[in-house]
Amino acid sequence: MLRNGQARNLALATAAFALTFWAWNLIGPLSGSYSRRLGLSPTETSLLVAIPVLVGALGRIPVGILADRLGGRRMFAVICFVSIVPVLFVGFSDSYGWLLLWGFLLGIPGTSFAVGIPFVNAWYTPERRGFATGVFGAGMGGTALSAFFTPRLAEAFGRPVTHVIMAVALALMGVIMLLVSRDSPSWTPATTPALPRMREAMRITATWQCAFLYAVAFGGFVAFSTYLPTLLQAVYHFAQTDAGLRTAGFSIAAVVSRPLGGTLSDRVGPNRVLLLSFAGTALMALVLAFEPPAELPAGVSFVLMAFFLGLGTGGVFALVARLVEPSRVGTVTGLVGAAGGLGGYFPPLVMGAVYAATGAYAIGYGLLALTALAALLYTYRAFSKLPRRD
């Protein structure tokens, strides 16, 4: 039976995660309009789309450390309030240089992941943490909300008003987290200095193992959810709103499968879930390399790709919960989350460069397939036997 407050705080953390992820992905769904208005090349467009991912990745390291010290309740509120500044400035910027600058800082809301994992972990016992982190991870569906609603809001009200709406939503969520959410009674703030804790986390083998696997699984999801509108407009010539609708479908598939991946990990082990995830990802990448026609062949392939990547994201943090003691989860999550974000930073740049050079994305898909196969082989060799639960 759930302890008092478990369900409420899991729901609040998931909602805050979804909203901040929406803010993190405000540029991607509008990439086509930025490209046309500013006359951007494919490489410049991919850089604009990818730049928020960089801070969203690297910022998870200090944010994870602060979450161990200050708690998830306060850190969620801080991230919501601080994110308002870049959200507003991106909405009112009309030059490529300013968009890059404020887009860089738009990565701040993407750091919320490193707050939520230790926050929900502390509310649940080890045998239920796969479920808890999987449900929380479904908040990455904020990218689906952004892909679907951001282009439509921009068309109806204009880009500046759209960003003002997001800023107001972030302010309200910050207040809600302060007033309604609570840190788990079992959570105790870390009192040791940050750098020693980070060094200790970096000495844990599981940190680097999970960082690699998350860079593939979550990095693949982030790369597609941010760059897919650009790809669909370039290859299949969809309008911006139509590309956003299909990107939302991609994100929803991953959102549904992430808690499934966490729950299955509790039952059959995260290693088996990860093997299935990486095998399916490699297969779908090979199918997409041949640029199958829209809608049915390509659409099904993208949705299955998202499903397999979502399974993997749920499996990785079930693995973290299995291998890392709770007092270190925040710091380890920051490092692993940073790796996942960085995994999503480079693929859009590669895809943009490949498309600019060849007029197709086949080489990029091939590299994704090889990376997924490498992750599959590593998972098989490193985690064929997992330690028992506490």
Quick one: what percent of the chain has pLDDT higher than 90? Answer: 46
Q: What is the pLDDT of residue 22?
A: 95
Most confident of 66-70, 94-98, 114-118, 324-328: 94-98
What is d(CA 219, CA 338) in angstroms, rounded to the nearest whole number? Answer: 10
More confident residue, 270 or 390: 270
More confident residue, 297 or 331: 297
More confident residue, 209 or 65: 209
Q: What is the pLDDT of residue 5?
A: 85
Summarize the confidence of residues 186-209 as an average pLDDT.
Answer: 85
The region of weakest confidence among 47-51, 306-310, 332-336 is: 332-336
In this model, does residue 321 exceed pLDDT 50? yes
DSSP 82-149: HHHHHHHHHHT--SHHHHHHHHHHTTGGGGGHHHHHHHHHTTS-GGGHHHHHHHHHGGGGHHHHHHHH
What is the tens place of the pLDDT at every residue in 261-280?
988 988 899 999 999 999 99
Please give the mean pLDDT across all residues of the chain: 89
Q: What is the pTM of this model?
A: 0.77
Q: What is the pLDDT of residue 150?
A: 94
In this model, does residue 390 exceed pLDDT 60? no
* Residue 258 · residue 138 · CB < 8 Å: yes
Inter-helix orientation angle 6-24/129-137, to 10°: 40
The 8 Å CB, 24+ separation contacts for 265-268 are 265/130, 265/134, 265/314, 265/315, 265/318, 265/319, 266/127, 266/128, 266/129, 266/130, 266/131, 266/318
In this model, does residue 169 exceed pLDDT 60? yes
What is the tens place of the pLDDT at every residue in 113-125?
889 988 998 898 8
Q: What is the pLDDT of residue 289?
A: 92
150 closest CA partner among 226, 93, 95 = 226
In this model, does residue 2 exceed pLDDT 70? no
C-alpha dist (Å) from residue 304 to 132, 175, 214, 238, 376? 23, 37, 18, 20, 17
In this model, does residue 130 exceed pLDDT 90? no
What is the tens place of the pLDDT at every residue in 341-380?
788 888 888 888 888 888 888 998 999 999 999 999 999 9
Q: What is the pLDDT of residue 79?
A: 97
* Residue 331 · residue 211 · CB < 8 Å: no
